[in-house]
Structure 1
Amino acid sequence: MAKSASKKYQEDVGESIPEEFKKQMETPAATTDVEDEPSLVSTLIKNIKIGGDMNTMNISGAHIQAKSSLVFYPEAFLHFDLLTVCNDMESAQDRMLQVFKFALSTGYLPDDLTKKPLNPVLGETCQYDIKFPEKNYVVESISEQLSHHPPICSSTAFDKKAGISATFYAPMRLNFMGTYVKLTIDGNMEVRLDKFNEVYTVTQPILAVRIFRGFCEYIGDSIITCSNSKYRTKCTFHAKPMFYGQYNLIDATVYNGKEKLQKIKGSWDKELSITTYKKEDSKPFFNLESLKGAKGVMEDVAPEKLLPTDWTFAWKGLLDAVKTNQPSRVLSREKSKVEEHQRKLAAERKAKGEIHTPALFAQDKNGSWVLKETL
């Protein structure tokens, strides 16, 4: 019971639905004139019950973010260079701390809460190079939508020469909770350091989109474990209370087996400090904000090297409509074309008894989805 109460406290900080939106909940959903688009919040309230699945929600053109959600994964790898220094670290504890820094750097808080990215179609891919100009360093990134029902994707960034990779395996749930939208990632991130034959598994906290307060935050726990050592890190992301407190606060503990070694506290997206457990020797640990000017740059892969399943091909009609400033009804129509085509393909597979097989990723012996070429 205590665990359940704690989880509820983390997610629900006492927000209430404003009166003007409560009135909308009492009126039935209706087809709207495209020239008088309702807000995204109004659309949610009228069309989805509390706890309802948002992945199936039909979004009008006015609320489309012209970007596949697969693109968020290479964006999360823009500090991949934090991992490259691990090969120079002989201490397993130091490597655990460095992987923790990288895990924090993958956090993403969207600025625009009025638009929803495109749900990738089955088999859709996303390829980018991530370049670090000051270090003359390039990392490859590739993602694939593995399943549509339920929505599952896998994304990886890798440096073959260094023997380092980071992979997200992300079965996702997107639910409307009344006063916030809850994104739950049931999969993990895995960081592989071939030099040390280590695999770090990172569980993901929940992302809460506070639709009435206009910000996003991570809440709940994230745990990092290592395949070849007893070191682990447990990090708790705290929700900002309604009327006081700071944004994005965390506290983390580093363990060796059951022994507590270090405590880390602060704002995960700004400054963090570290202390030896039960001592007052606090010192700076990590400042993600200071790295903004040093992060990698996403660059398009040459068209001839892109797979025919790339997201830019799958959504070309919609992207062209955005580039030419077409009205929202045109965006809706282009989105519907893609979705209708996918329904047709799904019906054909069902009639033939075919099951979709991912092109780039396969499950390893532990059930994680990794690039086939690494198996």
Structure 2
Amino acid sequence: MTFLKSLATSKGDIASITAPPFILSATSLTEYSKFWAELPDLFVAPSMIVDPEERAVAVFKWFIATLKGQYTSRNEALGSEKKPLNPFLGEMFLGKWETDDEGTTSLVSEQVSHHPPVTAYAIFNDIYGVELTGYNGQKASVSTTTLNIKQVGHAIYKINKFDETYYITLPALHIEGLFYGAPYVELEGSTVIQSSSGYKVKIDYSGKGYFSGKKNSYKAKLFAPGGSSKPIYSFSGQWSGKSTIKDERTKSESIFYDATEHHIVPLQIKDLEEQSAYESRKAWSKVAAAVAVMDYDTIHVEKSKIENEQRALRKQEKEEGREWTRRYFSFVEDSESLKKLATDAGLVPDKNVWQFNRDAFESGPDKC
């Protein structure tokens, strides 16, 4: 209750507030990038579809399939949402998915900013020529009994075969159940998926209200190129369960996706002894072990060690007049391609873009 009162009286962004050990997760936020590709078959599926309309539907299906992992998997596994560990600047999370049909899908995630916290990531499958890049940050605030989180950033999904790009915005969310000791995530507001081919999906999120509605609900519409206000497809249901698709031209309706029937592919990562000091699992191993047994004293001691080391590094950099060098991502301003996609989607483009340097990764020591 003391912690909740401190949240309720805080002003501005509370993302950096230190959480008490009992609500901590043993997982760093850099790992959350993996939820984009836990279903490699859906991740690469659009690359095998020739028709651009059907391809846009397949991209949206993959996107909807990522939401359960991103926003409800921890609640289901742990009984409630836990606060992830705040990544330190330069922290990395690397891994790969390997399947018989899709081959290797690789993940590179790096904390490129600490204030504000920003994680950049790249996920790619060279066999199918598919790549996802993007970055994600959070701004948190409290209103009454709800923790509100605005996600900053976007994702870019590319299909090389068709020279096609999809610009994906990120949903806002709020944490309910804080005062009952069982926090869970609900998505809210709207997001957009804009294709360079002209197809656009607008998604509206809603949750369970006091008198009506179901948790994790959404409605979406797919629009054809040309700016028509009439959708060619509509979708509705629960992103954590079943949803349907309706062809607005023929009025036929069918099951679109059932999240309860799709099983994720485990991510493969290196053993701890093979990881560098900057890789998440290695860096946070002592904290994670302490969280597992609720050893609050050790959690505090080990977290403080990491945080104090980082403060010392930032102080040294400031004194030497230099900035931390990012390993695999570089800061780019005013991306023309992003500007066009955002404008087509009716949005103001992000000014700041973190771009993946594939050559640096391939020549570096950190491949999984």
TM class by shorter-chain length? 0.7 to 0.9
Look at both structures and tell me which one has the larger radius of gyration over its CA atoms. Answer: 1
Aligned to 1:57, the other structure's residue is in SS state coil
In 2, Cα distance between the equivalents of 1:93 and 1:203? 20
Give the match for residue 213 of structure 2: 245
Residues 237-276 of structure 1: matches in 2 within 5 Å? 237-256=205-224, 257-259=226-228, 260-276=231-247
Among the aligned pairs, what percent are the same residue? 24
User: How far off is 1:321 after superposition?
Assistant: 3.5
Question: What is the Cα-based RMSD across aligned positions, in Å?
Answer: 2.3
CA contact (8 A) 2:275 2:282 kept: no
Is structure 2 residue 286 aligned with structure 1 residue 317? yes
Q: How many positions carry a matched residue from both structures?
A: 330
In 2, Cα distance between the equivalents of 1:139 and 1:114? 28
User: How far off is 1:212 after superposition?
Assistant: 4.1
CA contact (8 A) 1:141 1:156 kept: yes
In 1, Cα distance between the equivalents of 2:203 and 2:11? 26
Give the match for residue 20 of structure 2: 60
Is structure 2 residue 44 aligned with structure 1 residue 84? yes
In 1, Cα distance between the equivalents of 2:212 and 2:280? 42
Name the stretch that deviates more: 111-120 or 147-156: 111-120
- The normalised TM-score by structure 2 is 0.82
CA contact (8 A) 2:7 2:142 kept: no
Q: 1:235 aligns with which of 193, 196, 203?
A: 203
Aligned to 2:298, the other structure's residue is in SS state helix
In 2, Cα distance between the equivalents of 1:171 and 1:216? 16
Residues 1-375 of structure 1: matches in 2 within 5 Å? 42-49=2-9, 52-107=12-67, 108-109=71-72, 110-111=74-75, 112-113=79-80, 115-132=82-99, 135=101, 137-210=103-176, 211-212=178-179, 214=182, 215-227=184-196, 229-256=197-224, 257-259=226-228, 260-277=231-248, 280-291=251-262, 293=263, 295-302=264-271, 306-322=275-291, 325=293, 327-363=295-331, 366=335, 367-373=352-358
User: How far off is 1:56 after superposition?
Assistant: 2.0
Amino acid corresponding to residue 103 of structure 2 in structure 1: Y
- The normalised TM-score by structure 1 is 0.81
CA contact (8 A) 1:265 1:273 kept: yes
Q: Structure 1 stretches of 5 or more lacking a match? A: 1-38
User: How far off is 1:63 after superposition?
Assistant: 2.7
In 1, Cα distance between the equivalents of 2:81 and 2:248? 43
In 2, Cα distance between the equivalents of 1:350 and 1:225? 40
Aligned to 1:53, the other structure's residue is in SS state coil
For the structure 1 residues 223 and 114, does the alpha-carbon distance in structure 2 shift closer, same or farther, using more than 3 Å as the test?
Answer: closer
Q: Deviations over 1:228-268 (max 9, x none)?
A: x1111001011321232211221111111322211111112
CA contact (8 A) 2:232 2:247 kept: yes
In 2, Cα distance between the equivalents of 1:273 and 1:368? 34
Q: Structure 2 stretches of 5 or more lacking a match? A: 336-351, 361-368
